[in-house]
A and B are shown apart, each in its own frame.
Chain A
Amino acid sequence: MKDLEKDHIAVQVEADDWKEAIQASGQLLARSGAVSEDYVNSMIQSVEKNGPYIVIAPGIAIAHARPSASVFENALALAILKEPVAFHSKENDPVDLVFSFSAKGDESHLKMIEQLSIFLMKEEAVKRLREVNSAEEAYQIITEGSVTNE
């Protein structure tokens, strides 16, 4: 899948709360140089301000913030939590798949979101993602699942 790299995936991640979960996912972006630390903080502030709307489906969050000078590349990361945490989402708590992404501008990240969306529609593939033991396995599942085959 475009813009998802193996080193942007972490498995068995330990987080005590939703902030640590976003922090863990965001650090994957920051570590590779796709965003600065500021961007990671903005993702957390966004949830503080707007609520847990980023939890878009049962157990799945997609954290992000506005395109800004803190974004150097479009990128997508995933932290798979060892134990799910509460995001205070009425319908979709608790969360164990914490995606985060960065977007440089208005349109250039759309392909990435489109592919992620195709993947997330595949219930079986998402279920398998929750059972992986390595980033390598997770990468395979997402890459295979993000192409249209209907």
Chain B
Amino acid sequence: MSKLKIMTVCGFGLGSSMVLKMNLDAVLKDLGIEADVFTGDVSSATGTSCDYIFTSNELAGNIKSATSTPVVVINSFVDKAEIKEKAQAEIKSE
């Protein structure tokens, strides 16, 4: 199985997406899922190929309408339990 590519997205790709990336990295490690997690802004989200996009409720709508990549909505970027639950539910290990 090739390593998953996951993008965390915020308005500019350098603030909240970074916070989410760090916490997602930690959660994936706990779950034993190997993935490259990287950050990006909304416009790069729709033009970069990856397996999953993690982002906030506010930005998800625009992204969903512009890409077929599965979008996972996270309400609290610092709530490890929420990130874990959604990562587990959404990411299909092959």
- Name the interface residues of B1-50: CB closer than 8 Å to any CB of A: 10-12, 14-16, 18-20, 22-23, 42
Contact call A117/B79, Cβ cutoff below 8 A: no
Across-interface contacts of A54 in B (CB, < 8 A) = 10-11, 15-16
Contact call A50/B76, Cβ cutoff below 8 A: no
A84 to chain B, nearest CB (A): 16
Report the bound CA distance from A118 to B19 in whole Å.
9
Interface size on B, residues (CB 8 A): 23
Q: Which of B14, B15, B59, B79 has the most CB of A within 10 A?
A: B15
How many contacting A-B pairs (Cβ < 8 A)?
75
Report the bound CA distance from A46 to B58 in whole Å.
13
Which chain A residues have a beta carbon within 8 Å of chain B's beta carbons?
46, 50-54, 56-58, 60, 62, 64-67, 89-92, 101, 103, 106, 109-110, 113-114, 116-118, 120-121
B93 to chain A, nearest CB (A): 25
Which chain B residues have a beta carbon within 8 Å of chain A's beta carbons?
10-12, 14-16, 18-20, 22-23, 42, 55-59, 75-80
Contact call B78/A50, Cβ cutoff below 8 A: no
Contact call B11/A113, Cβ cutoff below 8 A: no
Contact call A117/B14, Cβ cutoff below 8 A: no
Across-interface contacts of A67 in B (CB, < 8 A) = 14
Please name the residue on chain B nearest to A107 by beta carbon.
B14
